Amino acid sequence: MISTIGGQRVSGRIVETEAYVGPHDPACHAFGDRRTERTRCLYGPPGIAYVYFTYGMHWCLNAVTCREGYPAAVLIRALEPLDGLPVMRRRRGDVPDTELCAGPGRLCEALGITGKWNGVPLQRGPLRIVRSGGGGAGKIRVVRTPRIGVTAARDWPLRYVVAQTRWASRPSRRLSVAR
DNA sequence: ACGCAGATTTTCT
DNA sequence: GAAAATCTGCGTT
């Protein structure tokens, strides 16, 4: 994905995501069909950003999926930094490369994402998610684990991590193979 | 390398 | 008023 927020181009390859699926997912913000100001974009058309604030200091980016009216989204949890590492470091501080975008709050800070970008389209504009550019997508192995920081529905593993990547928010040791 | 607690504020009960 | 889709720093092993 690519961010040109603030006139600075930075990009990275998505290596870790989590799914939050509908009003019957106990971990979903819209569990129990909660239509509130915060979850408004979750119910919107697919392909837009759902950005929320949590733990008093962190922003998290989701891509809204499924159909309009059905609250579902994919949380972007980690990126392999590709372009604009100096810009990321300026925003994140002088941390090791592996910690620049490893975690939903971290990657939002590295990309300059705040609540201001809630509801923007992700196909065009300053925040874009594009198909992997020739990086051998389709050949990669993806593993599946329980979602992080989620106590509800631990038996419903909806976290997806590129196998053996060093860029995830935590190591993916021995895990079941997805898909 | 690992575990724990503190930070900090939005959102909803 | 409590909990939260987290991160960091500091303590101990």
Question: A37-92: per-residue pLDDT in tens?
Answer: 899 999 999 999 999 999 988 999 999 999 999 999 999 999 999 999 999 999 99
Q: Helices in A4-103 by DSSP H: which ranges?
A: 85-92
CB A150 within 8 Å of CB A77: no
Structure tokens at A134: 């020739």
Nucleotide lying nearest to A171, CA to C1' measure: B1
Nucleotide lying nearest to A53, CA to C1' measure: B10
- Strand B: positions under 7 A of a protein C-beta atom: 7-13
Q: How far apart are CA A97 and CA A80, in angstroms?
A: 9
CB A102 within 8 Å of CB A92: no
Q: Is A117 helix (H, G, I), strand (E, B) or coil?
A: helix
- Whose CA is nearest the C1' atom of nucleotide B8? A56
Structure tokens at A32: 């129990």
Tell me: pLDDT of A19 over 90.
yes
A172 burial (CB, 10 Å; 0-12 / 13-18 / 19+) is buried
pLDDT tens digit string along A135-174?
555 678 899 988 888 877 778 889 999 998 999 998 765 4
CA distances from A171 to A68, A88, A104, A132, A156 (A): 35, 22, 15, 22, 19
